[in-house]
Amino acid sequence: MTHSGRCYCGDLAYEFDGPIQSQLLCHCRECRYLSGGLANASVVISEANFRWTKGTPETFQRDDLATPRVRYFCANCGTHVCVKSPPRPGMLVLKVGTLDDDTWFKPETAIFCIDQRPFHILPEGVASFERLPPPK
């Protein structure tokens, strides 16, 4: 199945296919900055299965970290679309809110719940971890 999405203003658009590696909610402070307050809802997908179909994103990475994440966003409206994360080589962390159809999203895991706020309600049955889940 092919999924599509875009930024708020429509200057950027993308498609991806292939399997969804994980569906997650991240409550870490960094993600709450980036989301504007609540947990960051994301899916992890293969970078090889992702393609920009319109526009060229801007990137941002912090220069004070040894292995920073590369964040892709729209230069016009500022929508944060996806992230290339060093702990997940070959993968992209895609922001669910940018999908044209996100009705299928069902978080499986909530991470960095140590930073969760009382008003961050987890759906029933979602595995939660103070930080990251143990390696498989």
Mean pLDDT of 11-30: 94
What pLDDT was estimated at residue 135?
A: 72
Question: Strand locations in the chain, DSSP E?
Answer: 3-6, 13-16, 20-26, 40-46, 50-54, 58-60, 70-73, 80-84, 91-95, 109-111, 127-128
CA gyration radius, the chain: 15
Half-sphere exposure (Cβ direction) of 76: Cα atoms closer than 13 Å: 10
Asked if the model's pLDDT at residue 34 lies above 90, the reply is: no
- pLDDT tens readout for residues 84-108: 988 889 999 999 999 999 999 999 9
CA 84 vs CA 71, 73, 110, 120: distances in Å = 7, 12, 19, 25
The full set of domains in the chain, from first to last, is 3-120 (2.170.150.70)
In DSSP terms, 59 is beta-bridged to 72
Q: Side chain identity at 75, as an amino acid letter?
A: A
